[in-house]
Amino acid sequence: MAVKVNEYYSLIQNNYLFVEIARRVDEYQKENPDANLIKMGIGDVTRPLAKSVVEAFKRAVDELGDADTFRGYGPEQGYDFLIEDVIENDYKPLGVELKNSEVFISDGAKCDTGNFQELFSKDNIIAVTDPVYPVYVDSNVMAGRSGKMGEDGFYENIVYLPATSENDFVPSLPSEKVDIIYLCYPNNPTGTTLTKEQLKEWVDYAHKNDALILFDAAYESFIKTPGIPHSIFEIEGAKDVAVEFRSYSKVAGFTGTRCAYCVVPEEVYVKDANGNKVQLNPLWNRRQSTKFNGVSYPVQRAAQAIYTPEGKKEIQENLDYYVKNAQVIRESLEKMGLKVYGGVDSPYIWFKTPNIDSWSFFDILLKEAHVVSTPGAGFGPSGEGYLRLTAFNTYENTVEAMDRISKLEF
């Protein structure tokens, strides 16, 4: 006898994508210490925190340094001051009404989307779009909801819904029965969006098939095109069948500060083994109360600052900055004659490699242009033949990177 490992961990085939990229980059940088690498791979921001965020952050730290205003454990679900600002600013303008108890503040959308599957039994069928943010798949593989990965790069028992140039990056509804569907719009990695009509088809599918949609809206702040939904709850009936994840990482440069939230409407029910309805909201509350202890108080105050008039203005300036970068990337790639997607309502630009596989083209960009990208194949089999660039570097670096790439011969 001995301690028995979670066997499902061994099903994971590769390193977590961004860990593997970091490994290749580190190795190259070590061998070429003088190479001036420009990182446009991982979706990590570069603009500093907004002034009003910094001020609120420090004010809250001072509160913790004073016995009269010190705070210890906060609510696992987050402070009402932040939850109320979320509801008032992120949802009310969309016509979406929420209760405080439906919003859960967390330390990241990665944590939330990774942990949420815990609420479900092992024998649910998971569907993901392909390519896809790896956390949705990996967290389900680790929980035993897949079989092995085949030679085709697909895990058994997971339903993959391809999104490629062939279907204009609008994945088809599943032809088989699925239970839980991960959707991310604006999409990571393809940078594409769905219209309200297209998203409504998913909500209708969920209603018809008793399915649940886990909707990742981490990039909604980049939406500029009118009519593109910022939240799945803008779609009629979505509150019965969807959970939404959002993050301050991209909208406010919080990738290193860590704050996010998820919305679990009271209307969402799942079923127990006897077919009885079980409300989802209290289950997530239970999970968070048992295994999480809330987000750092000063971080929640920092996040709150983005909802002030000054904060809104400041973060919009940062967003505009990245949008300009996205435009530079799009236009440069198009000039090279490449097929380019995304980058309009999204910080991600997705493009077809010039008849080279993703990882090889990643290596070419790394070694010949000293630009770090993300290979499309890292996001799933349908990402093969594509590459992702992000708009999160500085404007100067973005221009420099595109100049270097433009000079490559391929």
Binders of its own copies among residues 368 to 397 (CB under 8 A) are 394
Nearer to its own copies, 179 or 220 (CB): 179
Q: Which residue in the set 129, 139, 187, 390 belongs to the binding site for its own copies (CB under 8 A)?
A: 139
Residue 293 binds to its own copies (criterion: CB under 8 A) = yes
Ramachandran quadrant class, 20 (left: phi over 0; alpha: psi -120 to 50; beta: rest): alpha
Mark the segment that binds its own copies (CB under 8 A) among 7-15, 96-104, 225-233, 323-331. 7-15
Residue 72 binds to its own copies (criterion: CB under 8 A) = yes
Note whether 98 and 263 are within 8 A (CB). Answer: yes
Q: Which residue in the set 37, 149, 170, 283 belongs to the binding site for its own copies (CB under 8 A)?
A: 283
Residue 348 binds to its own copies (criterion: CB under 8 A) = no
Q: Which residue in the set 192, 281, 296, 382 belongs to the binding site for its own copies (CB under 8 A)?
A: 296
Question: If residue 198 lies in a helix (H) or strand (E), which one and from where to where?
Answer: helix 196-209
Residue 271 binds to its own copies (criterion: CB under 8 A) = yes
Residue 66 binds to its own copies (criterion: CB under 8 A) = yes
Eight-state DSSP code of residue 154: P
Eight-state DSSP code of residue 407: T
Nearer to its own copies, 64 or 94 (CB): 64
Residue 194: name the closest of 205, 208, 207 by CA.
Answer: 205
Q: Which residue in the set 11, 25, 37, 54 belongs to the binding site for its own copies (CB under 8 A)?
A: 54
Q: How far is the CB of 15 from its own copies (least distance, A)?
A: 8
Nearer to its own copies, 192 or 249 (CB): 249
Q: Which residue in the set 209, 308, 316, 327 belongs to the binding site for its own copies (CB under 8 A)?
A: 209
Cα atoms in the Cβ-side hemisphere of radius 13 Å centred on 237: 15
Residue 93 binds to its own copies (criterion: CB under 8 A) = no
In angstroms, the Cα distances linking 240 to 122, 180, 267 are 22, 13, 5
Residue 30 binds to its own copies (criterion: CB under 8 A) = no
Residue 284: name the closest of 134, 158, 409, 101 by CA.
Answer: 101
Residue 262 binds to its own copies (criterion: CB under 8 A) = no
Residue 11 binds to its own copies (criterion: CB under 8 A) = no
Note whether 281 and 101 are within 8 A (CB). Answer: yes
Residue 94 binds to its own copies (criterion: CB under 8 A) = no
- 103-106 and 269-271 strand pairing: unpaired
Q: How far is the CB of 6 from its own copies (least distance, A)?
A: 5
> What is the C-alpha separation between 163 and 262, in angstroms, rounded?
25
Nearer to its own copies, 124 or 327 (CB): 124
Q: At CA 46, angle to CA 263 and CA 89, rounded to 5?
A: 30
* 27: CB partners within 8 A, 6+ apart: none
Note whether 52 and 308 are within 8 A (CB). Answer: yes
Nearer to its own copies, 72 or 227 (CB): 72
Nearer to its own copies, 270 or 405 (CB): 270
> What is the C-alpha separation between 51 and 308, in angstroms, rounded?
12
